A and B are shown apart, each in its own frame.
Chain A
Amino acid sequence: MKHAFLAVIALIVIAWLGSLVGLDYLFGVIFPYVAFAIFLGGFIYRVANWAKSPVPFRIPTTSGQGKSLDWVKQDKLDCPVTFWQTVGRMLLEVFAFRSLFKNTKAEMHDGPKLVYGSSKWLWLFGLAFHYCFLIIVVRHLRLFLNPVPAFIGKIEFFDGLFQIGVPVLYQTDLIFVGAVTFLFLRRVLVPQVRYISFAADYFPLFLIFAIAATGILMRYFIRVDIVSIKQLTVGLATFSPAISGDIGSLFYIHIFLVSALLAYFPFSKLMHLGGVFLSPTRNLANNNRMVRHVNPWNDPNIKPHSYADYEDEFRQFMADADIPLEKELPPEPEPEPEPEAEETEKPAEPAAEEASGETPAEKE
């Protein structure tokens, strides 16, 4: 946590110093471009890299009744069998965090007695966090597009529906900060989660919190030169960036943190954004017995211990037990009655008793 916190502080200080010594162009133009390029290139590289590895086996985690007999009701979304059912499962996963919605919390009581309670807070705040983030990003398109598309105005209108304060308070800002705070507090306060967390978990939270905080400061408290900002951002979007006027350090801190997030994104756990689409336990249909799934590296040379070898080893026993044979027994007068029994490959002592692993009392 310490490292992650210091890293974000360092980013803030760097941007602040940069703006003080007049590196406006570096922080306002070059870093954003570089960061965006890293984000795009990195994201594509990571997804392509995952996609390069094949999916040898079809391994969906079935979370409901599969398709079997006609009269057995299939759970189409938790155990999809067709392409479109699978799309449905993925949409629910991506847009509604369906698996997380199932979350429970286990407690151990005297007895012993295990109790499982519903636990939907993580789902709720996780969903709030992601949707607010999305809406905020979309709202920011206002800065990059000229003229501003009508839908952005609509989003802003609904986001500020309660008309609190001037400028109007966006609910998403509030919820977003609340959700980030929740995710952070949960990570620190829930012992299990705290124990598994490390810098890569705290850093994005601190970074995103700092981005939100600087953004909110700019909008509600410390006004910056919005006209100059828009000039710069539209310039960025049209590849003709220009900086005019003194925009203010806060803006440079904000945009530098965003640049850091973009550049960091492809190399971090934030890639779950791309990865969730490639998760073989979710994006495959449960139609394994219906439709062949091909493993590109399937090794045809791996063959079972052949029946011929098996019969060679046990022919005498099989004959004695009236089990049908492929080949006749060798003629009787041979000196050794079971000539092939011993010479075949054979593990020493394949004792049934040992193999079952149970104490004798547990067996028949």
Chain B
Amino acid sequence: MADTKVEQMSVNVVKEPSMMTGAIPRKDWMDIPVTFKPGNYCYPAKKSIVEYLDKGLPGLFGEPREWTVESDDWKLPENWVEIILQGMRERLDKFRSFKVFMDICVRCGACADKCHFFLGTGDPKNMPVLRAELLRSIYRGNFTKAGKILGSIARGREMTFEVLKEWFMYFYQCTECRRCSVFCPYGIDTAEITMMARELLHLVGVGTNWILEPAANSNRTGNHLGLQPHTFKQNAEFLLDDIEEVTGVKLNSLTFNRKGAEVLFVIPSADVFAEPGIFTFMGYLLIFEHIGLDYTISTYSSEGGNFGSFTNNELMKKLNGKMYAEAKRLGVKWILGGECGHMWRVVHQYMETMNGPPDNLEVPVSPITGTVFENAAAAKMVHISEFTADLIMHNKLKIDKSRNDHRIVTFHDSCNPSRGMGMLEEPRYILQNVCNNFYEMPENTIREQTFCCGSGTGLNTGEIMDLRMRGGLPRANAVKHVEDKHGVNMLSCICAIDRATLLALMEYWNPNVGVCGISELVGNALIMDGEKERDQDLRFEELLGAGQAGESGNNEEGE
């Protein structure tokens, strides 16, 4: 939990001198040095982890070494400035986005108060425009005439250790959520800029352990948690017992690495590991059993999430490549993906380009409804919310909405599905069909304007709790609004990082609100063949009016 008590934090964010409370720094931002102290930085990557990653992708993660962030000696390579500048030059030639975004910002400031980290910290360097200027100033100083000649008048500067520290601080206070990009009149996307900065930081061996170790785990064991195949399977199967206990139904459809299945199902691995993700996982399995889907889960490709995407495009590609490789090996027809945010950013916007589907995959067709998923015609991968919404639309799910009556639900649009995919309605449609109490948060905090959980892109680590609670404040505050107004007690989402981070965020700011995946609520509401009388939900919590909710009275969608 965060170091600062919530009562104190509530006062701090309103009263402490910051740009959000009306205090303006007297010094120019270039003259304000970065000070690392416990709680405001992520721990650096372990030597062994970097060594491992370097074997797969030589040169991209810098010199493996032990180093400490608070020290003034990061044990950087002698020519680290040259490496950074050369890296920038290469990326300016490889990414039009980077080049254009370096050049065209007019500093209108529309993005300034759109960032959750700025709203929570009031730190001027968390204004997206200034975050970009941290990099842009080096670009100007080294790659533009004006910056080279006029120097600081043209806001150009040299690459120094102080700048490197600044980058490490502030490009790890950006969760690549893209909210600022929605408001930018030129579409400048800070996510792109942060991605570039992180690629450059990794080149000189400046990376965080909470990103690189999960990435290494994903590469080796298939999932970021480092669960080995047998453990992964055991964890998943353990949940079958819980399902049986709650529903009285023993599921038979869960298989692992089974060749010839129609569908490969890829989940964020946390869904078999920790609450509340495991309840979401139980929901998935109930849906599949209910409709008789011929699917399998792979232990080799047991991670949908892509920690490589928080480092560089090469590792993103390497980790993502497992999905298609496994789909090919198993001979499935198409891939179904679970509820995960940045996984879907990668799947939707990068996967087809990076790895291309193998020949055996076909345009996804729902075997239950016959719906052809034309929107996935090339990539051959369908989102579970698309799949479930289609099932509900075709009345293929027997649903008892009242089983979620003990939940007063709101929905958190995860950054990546909303701003990197355009998935807004499907989860809402599902929610409206599986629960009776669903309330939206205020319009400036949902859909394409949704606020990040505050801990995405590998910031979900314990050592920066205060920062995370600040970054998550805008989201928590919107939840508080509907909690006060409608009595909301459940924050639903379609992202595994959310399920971990919103849990901590709610415990801190809104302790009466729980967190769940959408599929958990579907699982609660599903009327399974041969089930016992359901008086508990998937969390073994009592249903409202348990024992009275009969099939006939509440079955909305049954055939």
Genuine A/B complex: yes
Which residues of B221-239 are within 8 A (CB) of A?
A: 221-222, 224-230, 233-234
Q: Please, which residues of chain A bring their CB within 8 A of the CB of B59?
A: none
A324 at the interface (CB under 8 A from B): yes
- How many Å from the CB of B8 to the closest CB on chain A? 12
**Minimal Cβ-Cβ distance residue in A for B209:** A354
CB pair B503 A362 closer than 8 Å: yes
CB pair B96 A280 closer than 8 Å: yes
CB pair B353 A306 closer than 8 Å: no
CB pair B270 A112 closer than 8 Å: no
B274 at the interface (CB under 8 A from A): yes
Q: Please, which residues of chain B bring their CB within 8 A of the CB of A321?
A: 229-230, 233-234
CB pair B220 A271 closer than 8 Å: no
Stretch at the interface among B167-175, B184-192, B401-409, B524-532: B184-192
B498 at the interface (CB under 8 A from A): no
Query: With A196-B129, A324-B259 in contact, do A58 and B349 touch (Cβ < 8 Å)?
Result: yes
B247 at the interface (CB under 8 A from A): no
- Bitwise interface map of B from 37 to 56 toward A, beta carbon under 8 Å scored 1, else 0: 00000000010110010011
Query: With A195-B19, A196-B133 in contact, do A289 and B462 touch (Cβ < 8 Å)?
Result: no
Q: Please, which residues of chain A bring their CB within 8 A of the CB of B56?
A: 305, 345
Give Cα A65–Cα B228 distance, bound, in whole angstroms: 38
CB pair A72 B429 closer than 8 Å: yes
Give Cα A358–Cα B502 distance, bound, in whole angstroms: 12
Q: Please, which residues of chain A bring their CB within 8 A of the CB of B221?
A: 314, 350
A137 at the interface (CB under 8 A from B): no
A169 at the interface (CB under 8 A from B): no
**Minimal Cβ-Cβ distance residue in B for A105:** B113
B550 at the interface (CB under 8 A from A): no
B100 at the interface (CB under 8 A from A): yes
A99 at the interface (CB under 8 A from B): yes
A68 at the interface (CB under 8 A from B): yes
Query: With A99-B183, A281-B187 in contact, do A304 and B319 touch (Cβ < 8 Å)?
Result: yes
CB pair A272 B99 closer than 8 Å: no
Give Cα A276–Cα B150 distance, bound, in whole angstroms: 26
Give Cα A269–Cα B146 distance, bound, in whole angstroms: 12
A348 at the interface (CB under 8 A from B): yes
B127 at the interface (CB under 8 A from A): yes
Stretch at the interface among A8-16, A227-235, A291-299: A291-299
A172 at the interface (CB under 8 A from B): no
**Minimal Cβ-Cβ distance residue in A for B224:** A355
CB pair B220 A305 closer than 8 Å: yes
A171 at the interface (CB under 8 A from B): no
CB pair B182 A63 closer than 8 Å: yes
Which residues of A170-219 are within 8 A (CB) of B?
A: 190-201
Counting residue pairs across A and B whose Cβ atoms lie within 8 Å, the total is: 397
- How many Å from the CB of B288 to the closest CB on chain A? 19
Give Cα A242–Cα B192 distance, bound, in whole angstroms: 52
CB pair B184 A269 closer than 8 Å: no
- Bitwise interface map of B from 51 to 74 toward A, beta carbon under 8 Å scored 1, else 0: 010011100000000000000000
Most buried by A among B10, B100, B356: B100
Query: CB within 8 A of B227: which of A297, A326, A352?
Result: A352
CB pair A305 B318 closer than 8 Å: yes
Q: Is the interface of B mostly helix, strand, loop or mixed?
A: helix
CB pair B10 A197 closer than 8 Å: no
CB pair A289 B348 closer than 8 Å: yes
B512 at the interface (CB under 8 A from A): no
Q: Please, which residues of chain B bring their CB within 8 A of the CB of A54?
A: 94-96
CB pair B154 A196 closer than 8 Å: no
Give Cα A49–Cα B52 distance, bound, in whole angstroms: 38
Q: Please, which residues of chain B bring their CB within 8 A of the CB of A286?
A: 421-422
Query: With A271-B103, A317-B229, A321-B230 in contact, do A191 and B22 touch (Cβ < 8 Å)?
Result: yes
Query: With A276-B104, A302-B321 in contact, do A352 and B379 touch (Cβ < 8 Å)?
Result: no
Query: CB within 8 A of A281: which of B181, B429, B461, B504?
Result: B181
- How many Å from the CB of B517 to the closest CB on chain A? 15
Which residues of A317-364 are within 8 A (CB) of B?
A: 317-318, 320-321, 323-324, 326, 344-352, 354-359, 362-364
B109 at the interface (CB under 8 A from A): yes
CB pair A358 B14 closer than 8 Å: no
CB pair A116 B444 closer than 8 Å: yes
- Interface size range on B against A: 35 or more
Query: With A195-B124, A298-B353, A359-B1 in contact, do A318 and B230 touch (Cβ < 8 Å)?
Result: yes
- How many Å from the CB of B375 to the closest CB on chain A? 5
Q: Please, which residues of chain B bring their CB within 8 A of the CB of A196?
A: 29, 107, 109, 112, 124, 127, 129-130, 133
Q: Please, which residues of chain B bring their CB within 8 A of the CB of A280?
A: 96-97, 100, 187
- Bitwise interface map of B from 140 to 167 toward A, beta carbon under 8 Å scored 1, else 0: 0000111000100111000000000000
Give Cα A129–Cα B130 distance, bound, in whole angstroms: 25
- How many Å from the CB of A1 to the closest CB on chain B? 11
CB pair B500 A356 closer than 8 Å: yes
A255 at the interface (CB under 8 A from B): no
Query: CB within 8 A of A307: which of B94, B329, B424?
Result: B329
- How many Å from the CB of A125 to the closest CB on chain B? 11
CB pair A50 B130 closer than 8 Å: no
CB pair B112 A295 closer than 8 Å: no
**Minimal Cβ-Cβ distance residue in A for B225:** A352
B317 at the interface (CB under 8 A from A): yes
Query: With A53-B94, A109-B14 in contact, do A292 and B214 touch (Cβ < 8 Å)?
Result: no
CB pair A292 B423 closer than 8 Å: no
A97 at the interface (CB under 8 A from B): yes
Q: Please, which residues of chain B bring their CB within 8 A of the CB of A293?
A: 352-353
Q: Please, which residues of chain A bring their CB within 8 A of the CB of B226?
A: 350-352, 355
Q: Please, which residues of chain A bring their CB within 8 A of the CB of B379?
A: 288-290
Q: Please, which residues of chain A bring their CB within 8 A of the CB of B76?
A: none
Give Cα A190–Cα B153 distance, bound, in whole angstroms: 21
CB pair B350 A57 closer than 8 Å: yes
Give Cα A294–Cα B350 distance, bound, in whole angstroms: 10
Q: Please, which residues of chain A bring their CB within 8 A of the CB of B354?
A: 295, 298
Q: Please, which residues of chain A bring their CB within 8 A of the CB of B222?
A: 310
**Minimal Cβ-Cβ distance residue in B for A90:** B187
Most buried by B among A57, A73, A350: A350
Q: Please, which residues of chain A bring their CB within 8 A of the CB of B421?
A: 62, 66, 286
Q: Please, which residues of chain A bring their CB within 8 A of the CB of B228?
A: 314, 317
Stretch at the interface among B198-206, B385-393, B485-493: B385-393
Which residues of B1-48 are within 8 A (CB) of A?
A: 1, 10, 13-14, 19-22, 24-25, 29, 46, 48
Q: Please, which residues of chain A bring their CB within 8 A of the CB of B313?
A: 56-57
Query: CB within 8 A of A305: which of B29, B322, B373?
Result: B322
Query: CB within 8 A of B24: which of A50, A108, A195, A295?
Result: A195
CB pair B275 A114 closer than 8 Å: no
**Minimal Cβ-Cβ distance residue in B for A314:** B229
CB pair A50 B100 closer than 8 Å: yes
A254 at the interface (CB under 8 A from B): no
Which residues of A142-173 are within 8 A (CB) of B?
A: none
30 pairs from A and B in contact (CB 8 Å cutoff): A53-B94, A56-B353, A64-B448, A68-B373, A69-B386, A72-B426, A99-B187, A106-B119, A114-B477, A194-B24, A195-B124, A195-B130, A196-B112, A197-B107, A199-B150, A267-B146, A269-B104, A280-B96, A289-B378, A292-B356, A295-B353, A302-B57, A302-B318, A304-B322, A305-B219, A314-B228, A321-B234, A324-B257, A352-B273, A355-B224
| CB-based closest 3 A-B pairs | A66-B422, A350-B226, A275-B104
Supplied contacts A51-B96, A347-B48, 5 more A-B pairs, CB within 8 Å: A106-B119, A111-B477, A281-B188, A306-B325, A348-B46
